[in-house]
Structures are given as C-alpha cells and as structure tokens.
Amino acid sequence: MEYCDFLFEIGTEELPAKALKKLMLSLQQQVESEVTAKQLKFNKSSIYATSRRLAIIIYNLQTRQNDQLIEKKGPRVEAAFDAQGNPSKAALGFASSLGVEVKDLHQVSDKKSTNLAYKQLNPGLSIIEIMPKIIKNALNGLPMDKKMRWGCYDYEFIRPVKWLVMMADTQIIDCEIFGLKADRYTYGHRVHSPKKLILEQVYDYTKALRNNGYIEPCFHKRQNTIRSEIKQQADNLSANVAIDEELLEEVTSMVEWPVAFSGSFNPKYLDIPIEVLVSTMQEHQKYFHLYNNENKLVPNFIGVANINSKLPQVVISGNEKVIAPRFDDALFCFEIDKHNTQLERRTKLAEVLFNRELGSLLDNNERITKLADFIAKISNANKDTVHRAAMLCKSDLVSQMVLEFPHLQGIMGGYYAAHDGEPETVCKAMSEVYLPRFAHDKVPETVEGSIISLANKFDILIGLFIINQPPTGSKDPFALRRACIGIIRVIIENKLNLNLTAILEFAINNYQQQGVEFKLEPQQALAQAKKYLLTRIESYYEEQDIVDVNKYSIKNIIASVMVVEEDNLYNMNLRIKDIIHTLNKKTTELDYLIEANKRIKNILAKADIAKLSASINKNIAVETAEKSLINYIEDTTKEFEIAINNNNYLDVMDVLIRSCSVINDFFDNVMVNSDDPIIKVNRLTILYKLRQRFLSIADLAVLC
C-alpha cells in the first residue's frame, strides 16, 4: 500500500476575521470525517488559516482505497432452477444484473437456506478521484452566514476565490473548483512577497510561506507570536496589558505576518469613562489597552501591524493620529450627554419603541420599576435604592454614548447618575442592570443591582409569551435564552430566596394594567414562560462543567428535584448540588435508597392515602423490624427537621441513607398488607411518613 502527503489550499480575498477560526476548524473536521468515511487511512492532518487562505495537509494518506471483494446473494437454489435443472427467470435476472452468466454463479449456504451468489471484486478508487469531491463537499459545508458572487460567475463562496492548490507529494491533482484549476502555486504577503511561490512538493508548503512568503500559515503559532510580542511591548512600557482573548483571536485572523507596536494618546482622554476608552480601542482600532500596577488605565496602547515596516515610527504615528479623533468623538458624546439628567432623559423613552405589541421603552421601564419594587419587598434590599435605580436604569438608552456604543448600556447609566448626584448605591445598581451580559460574565455584586437585573429579564420573558412570540430554534431576537440563564445565575450565585410563580404573576399583572393584548391566557403564558425558564437549568449546569455523575444523568437529577421544588431556584440548586455530592461519595448507599424509595412509591400508589392515619401508632407494632423502623423515624425526627429548616440537604441525605438498613429489614420481615386492617393502615402510614421524608429533598425514584 502506498502513502503520500496531501495538500489543499484555497486563496481568497480577505476572509471575515471573526469567522476565520470557525471556518478553519470546520474544514479540518469535515475533510477528516469524509476521508475516514471513504476508508482511507492517514496519520494526521494539519490545518492552516490566514486572512487570505485556508489550507490543510494530510500526512501519510493512503493513495488508493483497498480493493473490496463483495459477495452478493441471489435467489434460493430451489427457486433458481426448474425440475430439469434449467435456470429460472429469477436466476437469469440475478446473473444479468451482475453482467455475468448463470454458470459463473456459485452456491452459498447458511442455517436458513442455500442461495445463488457471486463474488465481485470492486477495485478501490485513487485519491486523484476521491479528494476533489471531498474538498468540494467540505467547502460547501463551511459555516457561512452569507455567500457572495464575483465577476460574471455564478459561483458562491464567503469571499472571491483567487487561487487553488491541490497536490499529492509532488503531483498536481487535476481539479477545478470555483472555475479555477488547481496548481502548485501559492502566494505570499501582499507587500513583502506578492509574486507566485512554486511548491515542488507538499513538504515545501510551510517552509516556502515562512521563508519566502512572509506568511505564518499556522493560526496558533501566529496567535502565540502576537501574544508574546504584545507582552514584550507592555514590558518595554513598564505596564500591564489586558489581553482580551476574543480580540486576540480576531487580530490573529486579520494578519499574516504580525508585528506588534506601541503608541500613546493624550492623557486628557483619561477623563472619559474607562469602558468607553477600552471599547474605542478594541472595537474600532483593534488595540490592546494597558494599565499600571494600581489597575488604572495608562495613555498607551498596543497594536499589531500586518507588515514589517522599515519605518516603524511612521506606522506608530499614523495609528496615534487615528485614535485621537475617535477619542474626541467619545469625549464630545460624553460632554453632550451630561447636559441632561437621567430623569430628564427618561421622558424620551416614550418616543422609542420597545416592541410593537409590548409598548415603548417607557412602558418597559415602568413595568420593570414596579416589578423591582415587588421583588425588593420579598428580599433583603434597600427599597428606596431599588425604586430609584429601576426608574432611571433605561434612560441611558437614548444617550449619545450608548447610541454609539450599545454594549455600554447600563454602564453609562451609572456614570451619568453619578454626575447627576445620585447616591453611590443607586449608581452601582444601575450599572448592573444588564449583568450577566454573556456566558461567564460576572453577576451583579449588589442585592439592589440583582433585583433590577432580574426585573428587566423577567419582564421580557413573560412579555414574549404573552404575545406568543417565544424564541424558535434559529431565532431569538430578544436573547431570551441568555436572559433565562442570567436569571438562573443571578438567583443561584447571589443566594436569593425568591418565588418564581409570584414574580411571574406580578409581571403579568403589570402587562394587564398597561392594557397589553394577550395572545395567550395569563395562566397559560405563565406556565409556558416558567417551563421555558426551567428548561434552561440543564444548560446552566453544563456551563458549570457538571454533566453526569457516575451512572446518573444531570438531567434526571434536576428532574428528581423539580418534582418537589420548581419555584425557588436557589433552594433547587442546593438540593441538586447536595445530591451530586452524595452521589460522588456514597453511590452504593444511594442505590439502595433509590430502590427503597421506588418500592415505597409503588406500594403507596395502590393505597388510599386519605384513609391513612395522621400519625404512627407504635403500640400496635408487632414485628421487631417494624418497631425498629418506627424507632428510627422517631429518633431522627428532630435531626431531620433541623436539617430541612436550615436547607442542609447533605444532612438530610445522611439521615435518609442511614435508614436503608432498617427499611430493608422491614421489607424482608414485615408483610405490609396484613390481614388485620388496623395493622395494615399503620404500616402504610409508616411508609407514607418515609415517603414524605424522601420528597423533602427530591423524588429519588426519578433518578433511574
């Protein structure tokens, strides 16, 4: 069997930076998957990506599929020939379908029958025939939001295609994609090496690009180079650099030959809120910001050029000239916004549509304020702070700064409130209204901020179900999935004892008071909104890297708790975490407990619960095992109640697990369905009391 190294490269105009890594990984995954499906062996693959190319090298790729000897079975022998031994229509048809004579067929037998058969050798295909199809399929399967056409062609790709390389060792593979024939020519850096680079063999690819083309084709090496150079530039300035990983990935995707540089800006701009400066540097200029040992921003930045300039100071000077007008614009917006207070801006919210069916931003803000007031009453929060912060929390949406930097909503509200002379607690709460903004973002630090954040998210949650516009599989314009994860995180991580149903009912009442038209009945909207929220809990635990515990799935653990608790997310989390902890420590004991719970549940399912006694009658107990179980229940009642009242579910689990032996002894030695109806009712009462204990934490029977 022969093997070769295979290379494919597609050269394009500049690819979208934020999509490059996803395109790169998708290409590698799809090519590897299809090569494997075609039963071609290979050692490994390496993927390469820059702003102008995607490439893959497959090392030690089998050059041809193995030949396959396939045996095809036909009709049974008794149906294949008549009494005189002449072939029937079935035999003739089978032979004809294979292009052979009946005499060329043989017979095969198994336990059921003897059939005509034919062995056919299917020669394997060469990679010359296979790989172009695999590459075309992989390119068509790349995740592209938008495709484009170029010139007079009908081809579609994410960017116009300029060149193609497809080789096996030293041989060009004859192939045409997007109207271009594959060759052995690639191209280097636009400035440093714009001419063709000839590849004599696949092995030359990376060496030619690095040595002659001023291209670092490996995404990860380029990223590490940028990271290292950025840190070196920061050290030269005796400062610390904040490396945002998303920005680093984007910059890596924009350059082919990275060269880091540092520049400076006028210290007067440090009067602008730090978030504005950082956003300007990151979003508009793709710069990395710097800070000193006191964690304060310094008037410097680090950029990454895609050229090794002979006059680096010219590059630096040009970037410094560009950043100054950006900061001037930000400073202008900041100063203009300070001419109006947050309270004055609030009236303008009536002019901005929140949703065609849910009203204006002012309607939204009024609902949030009322809901925040309600949540503050049932939690340990400063009610005046909550009310004031909630009332002003949306005003910055009509500020010039937020119009320019939408992701600074809330943050700028806090700054403007401080300028207006609002109390620090109000300003802090206002700045936290949109937290957490994304996965792994921080949650509000204050109770007041948490309440406003929840009110904001609950309002849109119930509102979308009221108008029957929940997210679909592909569309979530109001980011409701993220909002629900935010609700779960804020409640759990900030340990808020809140009742979901009460909050949703109050939110519905807010919409009714505003006269919003309901597309669903209020209770139906509430039920669906609550169900949608609770279905996000599994995603929350996945984000915490909690998936399955031994043989028990996290999905079933959550379901077991929801049987008894689905209104208090914080309490629900305590139960789930303590069950997981117990499963990790005492799986065998818990297995016994689950089985006992299931057995009790099944017995009680056939009993008339209404006829059971209010309490256990110890005096009519007959069997020793029966008395032991009653004694255990009595002896642990106080311990159990203390654990429940303190929400200490680890102790609850411990009490339950310790009951396993006496429960098993009870089932081994006691007939529950006694002939004496009084004793039977008493024994069922014992089991009912045990079942209530189980249900104090979860329905463990659901775990299996």
pLDDT band, residue 116 (cuts 50/70/90): confident
Query: What 3-state class would DSSP assign to 637?
Result: helix
pLDDT band (50, 70, 90) for residue 47: very high
**What per-residue confidence (pLDDT) applies to 1?**
66
Least confident stretch, 83-97, 206-220, 506-520:
83-97
> Can you give the length of the chain in residues?
704
| Pair of tokens at residue 339 | 């001419």
Tens of pLDDT, residue by residue over 437-471, are 988 899 999 999 999 999 999 999 999 999 999 98
Contacts of 525 (CB under 8 A, 6+ apart): 462, 465, 466, 468, 508, 518
Residue in the block written with tokens 């680890």: 650
Read off the pLDDT of each residue in 381-396 and give the average, rounded to a whole number. 96
Are 117 and 108 contacting, i.e. CB atoms less than 8 angstroms apart?
yes
- Top pLDDT among 236 and 154 is at 236
Q: Report d(CA 531, CA 441) in Å as an integer.
A: 24
Is residue 640 within 8 A of residue 695, CB to CB? The reply is no
Q: Which domains does the chain have, with CATH numbers?
A: 3-65+126-211 (3.30.70), 68-122 (no CATH), 219-337 (no CATH), 343-545 (1.10.3210), 568-703 (1.10.730.10)
Mean of the pLDDT values across residues 264-288? 94
For the cut 80, the answer to whether the pLDDT of residue 660 exceeds it is yes
Which one, of 452, 435, 323, lies nearest residue 393 by Cα? 452
Q: Identify the residue with better confidence: 338 or 477.
A: 338
pLDDT tens digits along 535-571: 999 999 888 888 777 778 888 999 999 999 889 999 9
53 pLDDT higher than 70: yes
For 100-236, list the strands marked E by DSSP.
106-109, 114-122, 161-168, 171-172, 176-177, 180-181, 185-187, 196-198
Decide which of 63 and 84 is more confident. Answer: 63
A 10 A CB-CB count for 643 gives 20
Which DSSP helix (H) or strand (E) runs through 422? none
pLDDT at 611: 79
Average the pLDDT over 312-332 and give the result.
Answer: 94
Q: What are phi and psi of 44, to 5 degrees?
A: -160, 170
Other CB atoms within a 10 A radius of the CB of residue 563 amount to 13
Instruction: For the chain, give the percent of residues with pLDDT over 90.
Output: 71
Position 531 pLDDT exceeds 90: yes
Q: Lowest mean pLDDT of 148-152, 344-348, 497-501, name the range.
A: 148-152
Q: Which residues pair with 446 in a beta bridge?
A: none
Q: How many Å from the N-terminal Cα to the C-terminal Cα in the chain? A: 50
* Residue 589 DSSP class: H
Tally of CA atoms within 13 A in the half-sphere of 355 that contains its CB:
17
> What percent of the chain clears pLDDT 70, i.e. is strictly above it?
100
Secondary structure (3-state) at 447: helix
**How confident is the model over 6-24, as pLDDT tens digits?**
999 999 999 999 999 999 9
Q: CA-CA distance, 231 to 254, in Å (whole number)?
A: 19
